[in-house]
Amino acid sequence: MVSIQLETEAELEQHPDVLERQKQETLERWEVYQQTVECISHDDMADFLKSREK
């Protein structure tokens, strides 16, 4: 995957599709992050902490 670093806001305005794609990628990452956090239940965390205490 190629990511394009844009230098100025003027360039961003010339490439709205790039900005839109970056927004979409960020949203997708955030959704994955939220799902991951939801998968780690409080019980799992408690078990994990207990195992660390030993």
pLDDT in tens, 1-54: 566 565 667 776 777 788 888 899 999 998 988 888 877 766 777 788 888 886
- Which pTM value belongs to this model? 0.42
Whether 12 and 6 have beta carbons less than 8 Å apart is answered as yes
d(CA 46, CA 29): 26
Name 18's Cβ contacts closer than 8 Å, sequence gap at least 6. 4, 6, 12
- Tokens standing for 13? 């305005």
